[in-house]
Amino acid sequence: MSFRIDPRLPLTGEVRRILADEIGKALGHLETARDKPEQGLHKCRKRLKAIRALLHLVRSGDEPFCRTENECYKQVSALLAGPREATALVETIDRLADAFPDQTTGGGLDPVRERLLLRQHELHAGPGLDAAINAATAACQEGLERIDRLSLPDQPEQAADILAEGARAVLRRARKALDEAGSRGEADDFHDLRKAAKTHSMHLSLLGRLWPTPIKARRKAVDRLGELLGELHDVFVMRALLAADGEPLGPPEDTKLLRKLLKRSEKSLTKACLSEAAELFGDSPKRSAKKLARKARDDLAAPREETKAAAA
């Protein structure tokens, strides 16, 4: 079913429908993860992000429900973070090899990659993954049973204000994270920017019929930024592992090339992320939300007016 709010229908019903669909997909991916963890865990975490983005969007309409459910799915995602990160780090090594072929042709990254593959296998093959999947499945099944507790205002103007406020809150977060990343450049700042960009991307999909045009170009640009920020996040994680006690990625002679390439990659990714984020989130969140609210009120009210006219 569509991951998009239909303005012709009551908001409560639409949000319940999308929640049920996304939780159902997450449960399916968790089953896949038992045999194919690399594939299933990644797709499940994407669905969990979609669920949380929807809850953020309508939070002002039912604060207790959205706050509690968001925390639930945040914890579910955390259960799966370790095994998924193990795969992402192997992918990071492969991206570096592709990006710097002249410097990696001699297999300079091979020792680190082998250690990361071993780490990935240990996390995926051990009993901890099964336990995490079981706990995540139980939490999602319980979440399905709670969906009917959600209650949102369904009047067009109130529904429009709820959606506009949810979108504005995320745009504010993105703008703040952009300012912090530009001034401080800390890993946490870019991570906050990444989370806000991912949530905003989901909001563009959910509000596809309500967001002021042009929306397709913006969605493409936001998704591109999300990919770059994801690569930068993996670089930061890898550098943290290099600095950890016990040399988990190997002795200095095995990691010398990796350190050099990570530094170069971080520099180029940081520059690209800041530039593209400034294009997307440099505008006033308040101004963007007002445009959305005006269009949403018009679009949400139109089906009701058509219904009244047909009944007259």
Mutual angle of helices 37-57 and 63-99, in 10-degree steps: 140
CB 53 within 8 A of CB 226: no
Q: Closest Cα to residue 202, out of 20, 58, 27, 64?
A: 58
Q: Closest Cα to residue 282, out of 206, 207, 193, 216?
A: 193
Scanning the chain, the segments in alpha helix (DSSP H) are 11-35, 37-57, 63-99, 101-104, 110-125, 127-146, 156-183, 187-206, 216-243, 252-281, 285-311
Question: In the chain, what is the greatest distance between 2 CA atoms, to the nearest angstrom?
Answer: 81
Domains of the chain, earliest start first: 11-300 (1.40.20.10)
Q: Name the stretches of the chain with pLDDT < 70.
A: 1, 285-293, 295-296, 299-312
Does residue 107 come out as left (phi exceeding 0), alpha (psi in the -120 to 50 range) or beta? left
CA angle, residues 17, 5, 299, in degrees to nearest 5: 145
Residue 53 CB-density burial (10 A; 0-12 exposed, 13-18 middle, 19+ buried): buried
Kindly report, residue by residue over 212-244, the tens digit of the pLDDT: 777 889 999 999 999 999 999 999 999 999 988
Q: What is the pTM of this model?
A: 0.89
What pLDDT is stored for residue 14 in this prediction?
97
* d(C-alpha 221, C-alpha 219), whole Å: 5
* Whole-number CA gyration radius for the chain: 22
* d(C-alpha 95, C-alpha 100), whole Å: 9
What pLDDT is stored for residue 172 in this prediction?
93
What pLDDT is stored for residue 133 in this prediction?
96
* d(C-alpha 109, C-alpha 78), whole Å: 29
Kindly report, residue by residue over 37-94, the tens digit of the pLDDT: 989 999 999 999 999 999 999 999 999 999 999 999 999 999 999 888 889 999 999 9
Q: How far apart are the first and last CA of the chain?
A: 33
